[in-house]
């Protein structure tokens, strides 16, 4: 159990660092107009905005799956 938690933590950490570094690279190597179009006007906190985006996407997916399961179990219980 602890091995799984450890490796999940390592995977999440690698994913966040990779996404953050990729955004920083794109931010540094694109023209200002394209950068503002892709990332918005606030590009100072790349790591924080990356984490916020990942969290928001996770929450959206979780809510959609939860609603799907609720519909499935409600339909089966009738």
For residue range 10-23, what is the model confidence (pLDDT) as tens digits? 999 998 889 888 87
Please tell me which residue, 69 or 48, carries the higher pLDDT value: 69
- For residue range 39-52, list pLDDT tens digits in order: 666 666 767 777 88
Largest pairwise CA distance in the chain: 58
CB-CB contact of 54 with 16 (8 Å): yes
- 36 pLDDT tier (thresholds 50, 70, 90): confident
- For residue range 50-66, list pLDDT tens digits in order: 788 889 999 999 999 99
| pLDDT of 75 | 80
* DSSP SS3 for 68: helix
pTM: predicted TM-score of the whole model, two decimal places? 0.47
φ, ψ dihedrals at 31, nearest 5°: -65, 155
Which of the 8 DSSP states describes residue 75?
H
CB-CB contact of 27 with 46 (8 Å): yes
């Amino acid at each position: 159990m602890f091995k799984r938690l450890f490796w999940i933590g390592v995977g999440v950490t690698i994913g966040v660092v990779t996404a953050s570094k990729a955004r920083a690279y794109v931010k540094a190597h694109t023209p200002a107009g394209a950068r503002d179009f892709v990332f918005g006007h606030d590009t100072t906190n790349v790591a924080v905005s990356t984490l916020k985006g990942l969290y928001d996407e996770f929450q959206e997916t979780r809510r959609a799956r939860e609603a799907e399961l609720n519909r499935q179990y409600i339909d089966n219980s009738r």
